[in-house]
Structure 1
């Protein structure tokens, strides 16, 4: 994959357009994506062969220095070896010339990145979950994608066509004026293009180096806290005290009736069976296409709504404060998993992150995951020990403030921007000069563990029983105020 040096004042941005290819162009698109998959599988097999060979030789007692040398997985090494075998290997000899060289380069680049990620993960140099060794891509499941970095890559002057290497000129489903105007004015330069098939359509995504002028927000001195939820998608409270609620559109729930009907039709058709090798019937394929169309419509509506929300927020406020939600853990709740997945909490944070970075006068603050925004009183800063999810109204025991829990959480998030912290310190202590890390689950009461029994000692041996320890604790002097956080 090529790396580009961005000029001062320029930023790299993507422009994506839906395509309307004819039958011949669609065959060519699928052929290029299939070539990328075949090159990826070849690279995985070529590199892994040396691993298995060394493992087999080690079982015969061959010393380390005499084992088969490791095969490199860098992109230049893979390209060099692939160019040697592409004319003689029976897997490529008959058809490799029918596609652009960029298709094979895409697969080799992806394989090189996969091996790099695996090696870094195994050596502890990569964050996140441990990654396994690269595996072969299935023809049935692999995502169709191909990237072009050289050759003729342009947006045509008529604003309704794009030109790609070996694929020729393809009509777009929508006008390309947003990119064409910048290219003609000299404020944008196309770096690469990627074609991808998703949601039943072909898309062309252009990686563009764009010159961006200073974009000013409507209220640069105002900070907003955003509390995400299921009943209400977002409750926004700014530093001036104004509170606004964005209702949850619930696109998936609205299409659930149609989706159930379509799924019932699919289940009554003769579908594929991998165990017996049975192929799906034509009626099953048509019914499955109708069901997928419902899913695609829901995904498009959700994407459109989230983009409109995040764009409006980034264009209005100078500081945006959002929570670091553990969405993966929230999805384990079987009662709310569907609603949480439909809301798209992670996508909202991702879009706010890059949309605020585009604007020089806007910043995004991510509150600590363990900051109790719902339990903290926005008036006096007192913190409740417990606030169950079914309690939708916050009532402060210290100052008597009664407020909706979502409004109270949004006000606390907005206050973090004014305090200049991220909520990693003691909850409610806004005068803390330095943030102190809080351990996991510190807002929960710790259950007292029973003492281990002493070997050979009974009640007469002086062992302390649990009820005796509770009585002794009850007699101890208690502090006047105890703050749980």
Structure 2
């Protein structure tokens, strides 16, 4: 139900900095009086000082946001010494360097059939016309409300899934490494734009930033030009080219075969250890494939060879700071 002009004026003028009271799931607001809340927040606000309340009409529902002042004690991460790398993607939403995979549920894609049908229904109803002053019909209002409800459902389910994912990571690991993704550039690809927007990479990064700080952890954002997917996590060799269709990383130097997302997550974890100054483990220095060095420096960049300088399929290694081979 849309707010009436009187209700809207009352909310805009009084609810912003209102004196609010709670009583067993009931909230007392100026002008509006006593309102029953869908969620009982009295148990959560024991000992809290209520500063203000903001009421707004959004996604077909009335929402009340309360600003409170309260001391909250949050536990430290259960694994404060662990550094975890997270590779975000579309096929799999997140792959952790310990091998954990979080599937991409594609919330908008699952509801796209209903959304398209509801949008067609709205377009066939009598809409507003500024030239003649025509107002939308009641059937269009109901159809628009249904379309908005479908979009609201998608947004709520996506937000719930992201909150659960980021909360679990922040409560577990002491240091988390993610990539500085160019989301604006990724959305320019017309084949991937909808899937990139549905994954909400920026929202995942935003929530990780403040939740990790709550639990005393560290969030490390890898450089945008760090070749996490093209670098071999075993020997540090960098491939000049790696297409999106290649889901398995094959190193031509040490013959390592691994899922490309897991390989990228391992490189991000090593990036975080380098930034924190943590020495590599023995397994990283001398791995099972006989490599006599750890993964290359964190800020390595793939080097594209000029035609005729190397044979087809040959890859190079990243030079170190002193000019010798990494």
Contact 1:231 1:248 in 2 (8 A): yes
Structure 2 counterpart of 1:161, from 26, 30, 35 = 26
Query: In structure 2, what is the Cα distance between the partners aligned to 1:353 and 1:314?
Result: 9
Distance 1:444 1:284, change over 3 A: farther
Structure 1 counterpart of 2:40, from 167, 175, 178 = 175
**1:286, CA displacement in angstroms?**
1.0
Q: Deviation per CA, 1:267-316, whole angstroms, max 9, x where unpaired?
A: 22111233443221111111111111111111111011111111111111
Is 1:30 aligned with 2:8?
yes
Q: How does 1:88-99 map to 2 (within 5 A)?
A: 99=13
Structure 1 partner of 2:296: 429
Distance 1:268 1:484, change over 3 A: farther
Distance 1:482 1:294, change over 3 A: closer
Higher RCO (Cα < 8 Å, 6 or more apart): 2
Structure 1 partner of 2:75: 215
**Which structure: larger Rg?**
1
Distance 1:225 1:313, change over 3 A: same
Aligned pairs, number: 297
Contact 1:310 1:348 in 2 (8 A): yes
**1:248, CA displacement in angstroms?**
0.6
Q: Deviation per CA, 1:415-468, whole angstroms, max 9, x where unpaired?
A: 12222269xxxxx533x7xx7xx9xxx747499xxxxxxxxxxxxxxxxxxxxx
Q: Deviation per CA, 1:347-400, whole angstroms, max 9, x where unpaired?
A: 00101111111112x221111111111011111111111111221111112111
Structure 2 partner of 1:67: none
* SS in structure 2 at match of 1:147: coil
* Higher share in helix: 1
Distance 1:373 1:166, change over 3 A: same
Query: In structure 1, what is the Cα distance between the partners aligned to 2:237 and 2:305?
Result: 21
Q: Deviation per CA, 1:11-60, whole angstroms, max 9, x where unpaired?
A: xxxxxxxxxxx99x976541135xx5xxxxxxxxxxxxxxxxxxxxxxxx
Structure 2 partner of 1:68: none
Query: In structure 2, what is the Cα distance between the partners aligned to 1:250 and 1:484?
Result: 40
Structure 1 partner of 2:195: 339
Query: In structure 2, what is the Cα distance between the partners aligned to 1:300 and 1:390?
Result: 32
Structure 2 partner of 1:147: 16
Structure 2 partner of 1:293: 149
Contact 2:87 2:96 in 1 (8 A): yes
**1:244, CA displacement in angstroms?**
0.7
Contact 1:28 1:167 in 2 (8 A): no
C-alpha RMSD of matched pairs (Å): 2.8
Structure 2 partner of 1:371: 226
**1:223, CA displacement in angstroms?**
1.6
Contact 2:236 2:317 in 1 (8 A): no
**1:167, CA displacement in angstroms?**
3.1
Structure 2 partner of 1:319: 175
Query: In structure 2, what is the Cα distance between the partners aligned to 1:26 and 1:233?
Result: 42
Structure 2 partner of 1:410: 265
Query: In structure 2, what is the Cα distance between the partners aligned to 1:219 and 1:252?
Result: 34
Structure 2 partner of 1:190: 50
Query: In structure 2, what is the Cα distance between the partners aligned to 1:26 and 1:153?
Result: 22
Q: Deviation per CA, 1:131-169, whole angstroms, max 9, x where unpaired?
A: xxxxxxxxxxxxxxx621xx5223x131x1222333322
Distance 1:444 1:269, change over 3 A: farther
* SS in structure 2 at match of 1:353: helix
Q: Deviation per CA, 1:181-233, whole angstroms, max 9, x where unpaired?
A: 3x3xxxx3223222222111111112222212251222222121111111111
Query: In structure 2, what is the Cα distance between the partners aligned to 1:344 and 1:212?
Result: 28
Query: In structure 2, what is the Cα distance between the partners aligned to 1:299 and 1:363?
Result: 28
Contact 1:385 1:484 in 2 (8 A): no
Contact 1:443 1:484 in 2 (8 A): no
Structure 1 partner of 2:247: 392
Structure 2 partner of 1:230: 90
Gaps of 5+ in 2: 278-294, 310-315, 321-326
Query: In structure 1, what is the Cα distance between the partners aligned to 2:163 and 2:222?
Result: 22
